[in-house]
Structure 1
C-alpha cells in the first residue's frame, strides 16, 4: 500500500531536521578543528591535561591496588592468628576429663559439654570477656544437627569449595587451615565481603570437627572506600593544578610568539615601521631583538629598491619622452629620403627602405616603453564600455590579416552565436588580441591559427591556438617577461619589440582578468585571455580550457588505451604497417 501524503510529509520533515542537525554538527566540528589548529596554547594545555590524566589514573590505580592488598593481607594475617588461638582453645576443651563437671543444680550433677564452654570462651559470650567482631561455626560432620555457631551463622553460609577442601583433607589425613575471601549474605543482613578460615580439629576419641571462622571486612571496605575517594579527589586536584600551570607557562611563551606573528603579518602587509617590544634578556627577548633588526634591514632594502625602481621608471619615462623630439626630426628626414628613393642608386634606395622600417619599429618600441612606464608608475586607467567581445576579436583579426597572408597563415574562427557582452576597455583588449595573434603568426610556422571565444554567466574568454614549435616546461610563465625569447639566437620575423606579451598581461591584470599560456613541444601553444563580464568582479573560472580539447582528448585516450598483442610473423617474414 503506498504511503499517504501525511507519512511522506513527516518523512520529509524528519529528513530535513536530520540534515539540519548534521549540518550544524559539521559546522561545530569545523569550528572546533579551526580553533584547535590555530591555538598553540590550547594544544599544549590539552596535551598536558591528557598526559596528566593518564599518569594520575595509572598511579591512582596502582596506589589503590597496593593499599587494598596491604590492608586485606594484614587483615587476613590477623584473622589467621585469631583463628589459630581459637582452635587451640577448642582443642583444649575437647581434651578435658569426663569428671570435670559443674553442678547445674544443687540436687544433681550434670556434665557440661566442652564444646559449649569453648564456644562461650572464644566468642566472648562469657561475663569476663567482650564480644569479638567475628563469628565461629563448629561443624560436626557426624552430627550436622549438633553444630555449634555464634551469632546468625549457619552451616549453609560455609562456601562449598572450602568445605570440599576440608573433606579431602580429612580423607587424606592432612590437616592444614584453608582460607577464602568471598561475599556472604547472613540472615537479616546484606552481603558482606568476608574472610572465611576453615580447619579440622581432632578429638581424643578419634572424631574430628570442622571449625570455621567468619571475619567480615566491613571496616576495611569502608576505609578503602575513603582511600579511593581521597585518591580521586587528590588526582583531580593535581590534574587541574597541572593544567593551570601549563596554561600559565604556555601563556608566557605563546603570548610573545603571538605578538611576533601579528607583527610579522603587519610587516608583510607593508607596515615597515612595525617593531616588537624587548623585555629582559632571555631567548624571547633575543628573538624580539632579532626580529626588529630583520625588520629594520628589510625596510632599508625595500626603501633602496623602491628608490632604484623609481629612478629606473623615471629614467625610462624621461628617455622615452626626450627621444620623441629627435625621433620626429629623424622621421621627417627619413620620410623625405624614402619618398625620393627612386632617384637614388639601388644601394642608397635599399638603405632608405631599411631606415624607414627600423624607424617604425623604434617608434613602436618607444610607445611600448611609455606604456610600460605608465604601468610601473600606476598611472594606467581603463576606459570601460559594454562591448561584444566578438566584435573586438574580428577587428583584431582584420588588423592581422595582412601579416598572416605574408606568412601563409589562415585564421579559423570559433565564435558563439549569442553575444558575448562584457565591460572592457576596447583599445586595450584589442591590443591584447593583436599581440596574441602576431605571436601566433610568428611562431605558428605557417599553420592555421584557431581563435575561440567562449562565455558563461561570469566571464568571457578568448583562446588563440597555434600549431608551431610550442613551449617547453616552465616557459608558460616566462613568456610574459619583458624582452624574453624562447630561443635567444632566433631573430624576430615580424619586427616585434619584445614587450607585447608583457603589456598584454598588464592590460589583462588591469581588467581583473587572466592571461595564461600553455605549450608543448611539437603540439604548438595556446594563449587564453579571461575577463570578467562585470568590471571589478572576481574571477572564479574560465569558460574555455587552457589545454586544447584535442590534446586533452588524446591524453585521455592514451590513459585508457590497452596494449594489443599482434601475432608473430610466419615463415620469418617481417610485416610492415
Structure 2
C-alpha cells in the first residue's frame, strides 16, 4: 500500500471500522427483531389455536361425523389470528379429514416429523402432566413462509393442525432489513466525512511540517512552524523549531568559520606575493649566474630556485581556490578555435614532442581562453608526470557539447584512488607526501570546468592508461548552463591583469 496516500488510508480505515460496526449492529438488531416478531406471532397463534381446539372439540362426540369436524374446523379458522385449520378424526371406522381451506391445507402439507411428534404419546409423571403436547415448526409453501403446528385432543378426540402465513412478518422484516441497510450506508458516508475531517485535522500539521522540512533542506534555515495546542503534533512542531534553530546557529557558525578561513588564505596568499616577487627576482638572478657559482653552492641555488617556483605556483593556486570558494571567479568569454587553443597550450610548455593532438581546425567554441588553458595544462601535465608519454589529446563535439579526452599510457589509476583524484591536496601515495605539484591542479581544473557549466571525469582506458574527459557546453552561455557570471571586455582585461600580478 505504499502508493496509497496517508489521507486515503486513514479514510479507508475509518470506513472499514464504521462498516464493521454498522454491519454488526444492523445484524444484531435484525436478528433480535426477527426473533421477537416471529416469537410474538407464533405464540399468539399457538395460544389461540390451543384454546380454540379445546373449545370447539370438547363438545364433539367420541366419533364425530365428518360434517361435525368440518364445522368445528370452519369455526376455529374464523378467529382473528387468521390461520387455517385441519382436523383429523375417527368416523365410522375410518379417518375423516376436515380442512378449513382444502386447496391449501391438506394432510400432505403436514411434515412427517411434525405428524410423528404430535401422535406420540408421552408417559405421564410428575414432570409431564399430559400425554400429548402442542408442536410447531416453520415451513415454506410456494415460496412463502408459514407456521404449522399440531396437537392431539386428550381423551380420544381428533388431531388438529394450524397453518398460519408469515408473509406479513417477512415483509416487515424485509422493510427492517432495508432500513438497516440504508442506516449502514448513511453510517458509512458519515464515517467518510468524519475521516475526511480527521484527516484534514491530523494531516494539515503533518503537511506543514513536511513543507517546512523541505524548505529547510533547500537551505532556508530561518523556516519555523507556528505552534498551537499541546498534543503530540504540537510537540513535534516545537521539536522541529528547536532543531531548525540549532541547525541555523550551527550553520552560521560554520559559515563564519569558513569565511574567516577563506579570508585568511586570501590575505595570506596576497601578503606572500610581495616577498615572493622579490625572492623570485633574486632566484632568477642566481639562476642566470649558476654557471659562475661555486660547484658546492650550485645545487643549493638550484634547490632554492625550484622551491621558489613551486611556492609561487602554490600561492597562485591558493588564490584561485579562494576565488572559487568565495564565488568571485568570473569568466572572460571569447570565440576561440579549440584546436589552436590546445596547440598553444602544448607549445607554450614545450610539450610538442610528448603530446599527440587529434583535433580539427575551425572547431569554434565560446570559452574563457585563460581558464581553458589552465584546465588543459593541468590535465596534460598530470598525464605526463604520472602516466608517461606519449599523451594523446583528442577533441570532438558530441551531443551539442565539446569533449576533450586526455589519455596517457601509464599504469592507470588505482580503483581506490579514482574517487579522490579531484580532491584538494590528495596524494595517491602516502610514501611520497612531497612532490613537485601542490595537489590542487586537478581540483582547480574541475572548478574551471564547472564555472563553464561542464565537468571532468577520470577513468582507466581498457587499452591501458588513464583517461581524463573534459566536457563543456556548446551553443549557450555558461551562466545559462549553471556556470559563473560573466564580465565585460574591460572588466575581463582588468581581471586578467589582476590574476597575472
TM-score by length of 1: 0.67
Contact 2:52 2:76 (C-alpha < 8 Å) held by counterparts: yes
The 3 A distance-change label for structure 1 pair 304 and 116 is same
* 2:476 pairs with 1:510: no
Partner residue in 2 for 1:120: 74
The 3 A distance-change label for structure 1 pair 435 and 55 is farther
Which residue of 192, 199, 209 maps to 2:144? 192
The 3 A distance-change label for structure 1 pair 61 and 527 is farther
2:306 is paired with a residue whose SS is helix
Which residue of 479, 490, 500 maps to 2:432? 490
**Could you give the per-residue CA deviations for residues 220-257 of structure 1, whole angstroms, max 9, x where no partner exists?**
22332333233234334434444444444444443333
Contact 1:93 1:118 (C-alpha < 8 Å) held by counterparts: no
Structure 1 residue 404, shift from structure 2 partner:
7.8
Which residue of 237, 256, 276 maps to 1:307? 256
Which residue of 360, 377, 390 maps to 2:326? 377
The 3 A distance-change label for structure 1 pair 457 and 229 is same
* 2:99 pairs with 1:149: yes
The 3 A distance-change label for structure 1 pair 86 and 525 is farther
Partner residue in 2 for 1:327: 276
Unaligned regions of 5+ residues in structure 2, if any?
123-131, 483-501
Partner residue in 1 for 2:287: 338
For residues 62-211 of structure 1, the aligned pairs below 5 Å read 62-76=28-42, 78-85=44-51, 92=58, 95-96=61-62, 113-124=67-78, 130-138=79-87, 148-151=98-101, 153-154=103-104, 162-163=110-111, 181-185=138-142, 192-197=144-149
Measured in 2, the distance between the counterparts of 1:326 and 1:114 equals: 146
Contact 1:414 1:452 (C-alpha < 8 Å) held by counterparts: yes
The 3 A distance-change label for structure 1 pair 396 and 157 is farther
Contact 1:166 1:200 (C-alpha < 8 Å) held by counterparts: no
* 2:368 pairs with 1:425: yes
1:381 is paired with a residue whose SS is coil
The 3 A distance-change label for structure 1 pair 338 and 393 is closer
Contact 1:514 1:529 (C-alpha < 8 Å) held by counterparts: yes
- Size of the alignment, in residue pairs? 469
The 3 A distance-change label for structure 1 pair 163 and 251 is closer
**Could you give the per-residue CA deviations for residues 462-481 of structure 1, whole angstroms, max 9, x where no partner exists?**
343444252334x4333222
* 2:175 pairs with 1:223: no
Partner residue in 1 for 2:23: 57
Partner residue in 2 for 1:104: none
Contact 1:480 1:502 (C-alpha < 8 Å) held by counterparts: yes
Contact 2:372 2:448 (C-alpha < 8 Å) held by counterparts: yes
Contact 1:392 1:426 (C-alpha < 8 Å) held by counterparts: yes
Measured in 2, the distance between the counterparts of 1:149 and 1:335 equals: 142
**Could you give the per-residue CA deviations for residues 504-555 of structure 1, whole angstroms, max 9, x where no partner exists?**
221122122232334699975443333322335669xxxxxxxxxxxxxxxx
Which range moved further: 362-371 or 88-97? Answer: 88-97
Measured in 2, the distance between the counterparts of 1:328 and 1:289 equals: 58
Contact 1:452 1:463 (C-alpha < 8 Å) held by counterparts: yes
Measured in 2, the distance between the counterparts of 1:462 and 1:222 equals: 90
Contact 1:89 1:118 (C-alpha < 8 Å) held by counterparts: no
TM-score by length of 2: 0.76
* 2:410 pairs with 1:477: no
Contact 2:105 2:163 (C-alpha < 8 Å) held by counterparts: no
For residues 285-300 of structure 1, the aligned pairs below 5 Å read 285-300=234-249
Contact 1:472 1:520 (C-alpha < 8 Å) held by counterparts: no
Structure 1 residue 204, shift from structure 2 partner:
5.9
Structure 1 residue 43, shift from structure 2 partner:
3.5
Structure 1 residue 431, shift from structure 2 partner:
2.3
The 3 A distance-change label for structure 1 pair 438 and 151 is farther
Measured in 2, the distance between the counterparts of 1:260 and 1:487 equals: 48
Question: Larger relative contact order (C-alpha < 8 A, sep ≥ 6)?
Answer: 2
**Could you give the per-residue CA deviations for residues 331-379 of structure 1, whole angstroms, max 9, x where no partner exists?**
1111111111111122322222222222222222222111111112211
Measured in 1, the distance between the counterparts of 2:330 and 2:118 equals: 115
Which residue of 206, 213, 234 maps to 2:162? 213
Measured in 1, the distance between the counterparts of 2:147 and 2:96 equals: 24
The 3 A distance-change label for structure 1 pair 156 and 369 is farther
Contact 1:508 1:514 (C-alpha < 8 Å) held by counterparts: yes
Contact 1:94 1:114 (C-alpha < 8 Å) held by counterparts: yes
Which range moved further: 446-455 or 354-363? Answer: 446-455
Contact 1:471 1:524 (C-alpha < 8 Å) held by counterparts: no
Unaligned regions of 5+ residues in structure 1, if any?
1-32, 99-110, 125-129, 186-190, 540-577
Measured in 1, the distance between the counterparts of 2:161 and 2:376 equals: 110
* 2:2 pairs with 1:45: no
Measured in 2, the distance between the counterparts of 1:288 and 1:48 equals: 26
Contact 2:54 2:153 (C-alpha < 8 Å) held by counterparts: no
For residues 337-486 of structure 1, the aligned pairs below 5 Å read 337-387=286-336, 389=338, 392-396=341-345, 402=351, 405=354, 411=356, 422-444=365-387, 446=388, 449=391, 451=393, 453=395, 455-466=397-408, 467-473=410-416, 475-486=417-428
The 3 A distance-change label for structure 1 pair 479 and 80 is farther
Measured in 2, the distance between the counterparts of 1:429 and 1:199 equals: 116
Partner residue in 2 for 1:3: none
Measured in 1, the distance between the counterparts of 2:231 and 2:119 equals: 83
Structure 1 residue 316, shift from structure 2 partner:
1.7
Contact 1:436 1:501 (C-alpha < 8 Å) held by counterparts: yes
Which range moved further: 236-245 or 477-486? Answer: 236-245
Contact 2:427 2:433 (C-alpha < 8 Å) held by counterparts: no
